[in-house]
Amino acid sequence: MNYKEQKIIDKLVTARIALLLKHPFFGNLATRLKLVNADDWCPTAGTDGRHFYYNTKFIDSLTPKEAEFLFGHEVLHNVFEHMLVRIGDRDPQLWNIAADYAVNQILKDSNIGEMPKGKKGENKGFQDDKYKDWTAERVYDDIYKQAKKNGKEFMDKMGKLLDDHSVWDGEGQPNESKKGKGQKGKNGKPSYSKEELKKIKDEMKEAMINIINFGVCLFQKINIIKDVLIFKTMFMFLI
């Protein structure tokens, strides 16, 4: 491992430690993700529920607090199973945007790091206080109506995602042709079968339950997540 790569790993590890100290729920779920260099196919960062894929140039451009926000962003995608729950004929692009609006709002409200900024101080990603306490599904319905009304002009103004969602196999849909564990496709990008995606879902549930059982988590001990969406999700997993 060269110096540049080690520098990136150090930044990511430091961000996870900061989350463990300040926001244990996020920190514990972040540390279970294996760090994987994905320079060959990922322009920013992404997750499949087991790994944290990253592009070295993108991570190098982040401040420490922005790196914390990024980990929180990927953690919440996993918590809400965004890679699995695009149902029916939902537009993949709009679903990805809706998922980012939902998780970024929770992170902002919970003071998890700082949202990455562009050169002019603009947010790198989607965030609007209008969507406070909204699920990704509800956000999707709202932006779908706007897109249907305003067409291509609306889509052109939407901007870019904070992270890369292409690892969400077929934009969130299981690849029925694959069997067994995750397989690597073009440029090393993983592809998962429906069965393997279910395993990933179960692993995430188990990890969340373990955090609660060990008393590391929220509700009574730390003021970590105020958003009712998280509480509902955790309760659903435990019943």
What is the C-alpha to C-alpha distance for residues 88 and 98, in angstroms, rounded to an integer? Answer: 15
Q: Phi first, then psi: give them for residue 100, nearest 5 degrees.
A: -70, -40
The answer to whether residue 93 is domain-embedded is no
What pLDDT tens digit does each residue of the chain (239 aa) get? 798 899 999 999 999 999 988 888 889 899 999 999 999 999 999 999 999 999 999 999 999 999 999 999 999 999 888 877 666 678 888 999 999 999 999 999 999 999 999 888 888 889 999 999 999 999 999 999 998 888 767 777 777 888 888 777 544 444 444 444 555 655 678 888 888 888 988 998 888 888 766 654 444 444 444 433 444 444 444 44
Q: Phi first, then psi: give them for residue 46, nearest 5 degrees.
A: -170, 175
Q: Which residues contact residue 202 at a Cβ distance below 8 angstroms, ignoring those fewer than 6 apart? A: none
The answer to whether residue 15 is domain-embedded is yes
What is the C-alpha to C-alpha distance for residues 102 and 113, in angstroms, rounded to an integer? Answer: 16
Q: Which residues contact residue 239 at a Cβ distance below 8 angstroms, ignoring those fewer than 6 apart? A: none
Supply the DSSP string of 147-213, one letter for each residue: HHHHTHHHHHTS---SS--TTSHHHH---TT--SS-EE-GGG-EE--HHHHHHHHHHHHHHHHHHHH
| Domain count of the fold of the chain | 1
Contact indicator for 43, 164 with CB cutoff of 8 Å = yes
Tokens representing residue 22 in the block: 């300040």
Half-sphere exposure of 134 (CA within 13 A, CB side): 21
Give the model's pLDDT for residue 53. Answer: 96
Short-list 43, 109, 31, 12, CA closest to 75: 31
> Can you give the residue range of the structural domain that contains 30?
3-86+114-119+164-238
Q: Which residues contact residue 64 at a Cβ distance below 8 angstroms, ignoring those fewer than 6 apart? A: 11, 14, 15, 18
What is the C-alpha to C-alpha distance for residues 93 and 41, in angstroms, rounded to an integer? Answer: 18
Long-range pairs for 51-57 at CB < 8 Å and ≥24 separation? 51/190, 52/12, 53/164, 53/167, 54/8, 54/12, 56/4, 56/5, 56/8
Residue pLDDT, tens place only, 82-91: 877 666 678 8
Short-list 215, 35, 211, 14, CA closest to 113: 14
The answer to whether residue 106 is domain-embedded is no
Give the model's pLDDT for residue 191. Answer: 81
The answer to whether residue 104 is domain-embedded is no
For β-strands 34-37 and 51-54, DSSP reports them as: parallel
Long-range pairs for 149-153 at CB < 8 Å and ≥24 separation? none
The answer to whether residue 183 is domain-embedded is yes
The answer to whether residue 98 is domain-embedded is no
The answer to whether residue 199 is domain-embedded is yes
The answer to whether residue 212 is domain-embedded is yes
